Amino acid sequence: MLCECLFDVACGAWVFGGMGSWNDSAPFLAYEKGLEPEYDKLTHQLYHHIQHALRYSANHCDVSTES
């Protein structure tokens, strides 16, 4: 159950593609406000954490023992 929830949350947090995505207008707005370094740092952290959650849910969860 935990792995399913972790996978679902990671998939729901994926904001890196499609219309209105994280990368559409946010980089320009960050640049305008002088926040480009913070935007880049947060983007990297978010991407890393989502990828980590997906890898964990795929590799460390035994479906046969989940309840």
As a whole number of angstroms, the distance between CA 58 and CA 35 comes to 35
- pLDDT top residue among 58 and 62: 58
Q: Which long-range contacts (CB under 8 A, 24 or more apart) does 53-56 make?
A: 53/6, 53/7, 53/9, 53/10, 53/13, 54/7, 54/10, 54/11, 56/3, 56/6
Whether the pLDDT of residue 66 is over 60: the answer is: no
Domain boundaries, the chain: 2-10+24-59
SS3 assignment, position 50? helix
- Confidence at residue 50, expressed as pLDDT on a 0 to 100 scale: 96
- Confidence at residue 64, expressed as pLDDT on a 0 to 100 scale: 63
Nearest alpha-carbon partner for 15 in 54, 60, 50: 50
